[in-house]
Amino acid sequence: MTRTLTALLFVAVAGTASAQDICQGIASRCEKHITSNYIPDGQFYRALLQGDEMAEFNLTLFGGATYRVAACSGETDGNLVFSVYDTSKERNLLFTNKDHVNAPFWDLAIASTLDVVVEAALDPSKAGSGCAVMLIGFKR
Amino acid sequence: MALLLLASCGGNDQGQTTGADTLAVIDNPKESELIGVGGRFFSVPSPMQAAMAIKEAGLKYQKELAIPLEKGDAATARMSQALMLGAYGADMSYATVHKDAQRALATLESIERLGAKLELSNAFDKALAERFKANKGSEDSLMRFSGMAFRAADQYLKSNDALDVSAWMLAGGWVEGMHLTLADPAAAKNAKLVTRIGEQKGTLDGVLALVDGSNVDGQSNALLMGLKELRSAMEGVKTTYVYEPPVTDAAKKTTYINSKSTAEVSPEQLAAIAAKVAALRNLILS
């Protein structure tokens, strides 16, 4: 009941908030996970997700580097599930934050260069739709 | 038609969460289309990584390989400005990694002027230049500031229906990174750098998808043609990939990806790739 009232109040106050505003707030929070020892890759990735929709991010990860992947949605950490697969026919799962309480960031230390696909989806137990933001940093 | 966006969700720490609890309304369908619904996105490696690879390979720093600083001022078309801005980003990375702070700062000034023309003053402004000057002795800080500024620019562009400009900037930076790697004949004798070139076959597919996906009015046709020709030149590059199980250290929040890959590029293939990259760079400079 309280949550419903909060939601209605937010709509009344915010009126027609834009996706841009909402994604901006999420991005600002997500940036904090790319800490000062990582160099941002210079790109901003976002997708509007509804229900069980999934966004797919295609990346090349270079050998010898460690990448920090931060994935955020909503007002708190842990709302976005992301999984990293290789691009082989078998599509091997390399990592999923599902195994780590939907951790909002994770480091991938790469031995040898590979192309990967990062799939991101909202945790259905926490959100029905929302703006998904992914940020990437790297270090030598 | 308004689309409800549910910006989820407090309360899950109480274990009561069954749905989103904060609502906002997106009333601009175009905007919701812009950010994509369940779409595919392509990342282009940071040009900083190309600069680092060049330095680690021990190639000599040659600032004359970079685009002349005055060249950006002559760019009048939006596409040309965006390609050049991205390319200057790679040049600034090259100078920064090689500890040429003076050149990096001068390049930043060129970026600032182009950024103003592209309405990107939020990302490239005097404050950034001041931060650069104040930290010019710290290569790591400069690399981080640069990455943050380009990310802010990309965010602004993607939030303002300028996906074409975003794609041009990323393509310009990637092509310039390839140029800086290949322009020195010594690169052809360095196995690691040659491999790095071959490894970017998949990256090029992403660059192509980005440019193609935002080419609504045909402005990018020449660029696309050049990128496709480069893709043809890379077609014969032989790559292998062997999956190895990754190892996760949960305490360190790190997963070690142990899979092995190779990329073999023959001298003839490398020469063909270099020629296509040179042609693309000429397109950016024209």
Of B36, B147, B202, the CB nearest to A42: B147
Q: How far A122 CA lies from chain B's nearest CA (Å)?
A: 10
Q: Over 60: is that where the pLDDT of B21 sits? A: no
Q: How far B176 CA lies from chain A's nearest CA (Å)?
A: 15
Instruction: With CB atoms and an 8 Å threshold, state whether B241 touches A114.
Output: yes
Handedness of CA A120, A126, A127, A131 (dihedral sign): negative
Instruction: Over range B73-77, report the average pLDDT.
Output: 94
Of B11, B21, B43, the CB nearest to A59: B43
Closest residue on chain B to A16 (Cα)? B25
Residue appearing with tokens 């309360």: B11
N-term to C-term CA, chain A: 50
Residue A19's pLDDT is 66
- The 8-class DSSP code of residue B38 comes to S
Residues A63-86: tens digit of each pLDDT: 999 999 999 999 899 999 999 999
In sequence order, what are the beta bridge partners of B260?
A: B242
| Mean of the per-residue pLDDT values of chain B | 87
Report how far residue B90's alpha carbon sits from residue B9's, in angstroms, rounded to the nearest whole number: 39
One-letter amino acid at B55 equals: K
Residue B50's pLDDT is 96
| Peptide bond before residue B9 is cis, with ω within 30 degrees of 0 | yes
Q: Over 70: is that where the pLDDT of A127 sits? A: yes
In sequence order, what are the beta bridge partners of A68?
A: A107, A137
CA angle B247, B252, B257 (to 5 degrees): 30
Q: Over 80: is that where the pLDDT of B265 sits? A: yes
Distances (CA, A) of B98 to B69, B182, B228: 18, 17, 32
Residue A2's pLDDT is 44
Instruction: With CB atoms and an 8 Å threshold, state whether A60 touches B150.
Output: no
Residues B90-144: tens digit of each pLDDT: 999 999 999 999 999 999 999 999 999 999 988 888 888 888 889 988 889 999 9
Of A6, A55, A128, the CB nearest to B19: A128
One-letter amino acid at B87 equals: A
Instruction: With CB atoms and an 8 Å threshold, state whether B154 touches A19.
Output: no
The predicted complex's ipTM stands at 0.88
**Bigger pLDDT: B160 or B188?**
B188
Report how far residue A85's alpha carbon sits from residue B128's, in angstroms, rounded to the nearest whole number: 37
**Tokens for A110?**
């790469």
**Bigger pLDDT: B141 or A5?**
B141
N-term to C-term CA, chain B: 44
Of A19, A57, A112, the CB nearest to B260: A112
Of A11, A74, A111, the CB nearest to B9: A74
Among A17-21, B51-55, B89-93, B150-154, which stretch is predicted with the lowest mean pLDDT? A17-21
A47 touches chain B (CB under 8 A): yes
Report how far residue B241's alpha carbon sits from residue A19's, in angstroms, rounded to the nearest whole number: 40
Instruction: With CB atoms and an 8 Å threshold, state whether A40 touches B148.
Output: yes
Count of residues making up chain B: 286
Residue A18's pLDDT is 66
Q: Which residues of A fall within a CB distance of 8 Å from B131?
A: none
Report how far residue B201's alpha carbon sits from residue B236's, in angstroms, rounded to the nearest whole number: 10
- Preferred mutation among B31, B44, B46, B181 to probe A, highest tally of A CBs within 10 A: B46
Residue B77's pLDDT is 95
- Preferred mutation among B43, B138, B208 to probe A, highest tally of A CBs within 10 A: B43
Helix boundaries (H) for B183-248: 191-198, 201-213, 221-234
A63 touches chain B (CB under 8 A): yes
B207 touches chain A (CB under 8 A): no
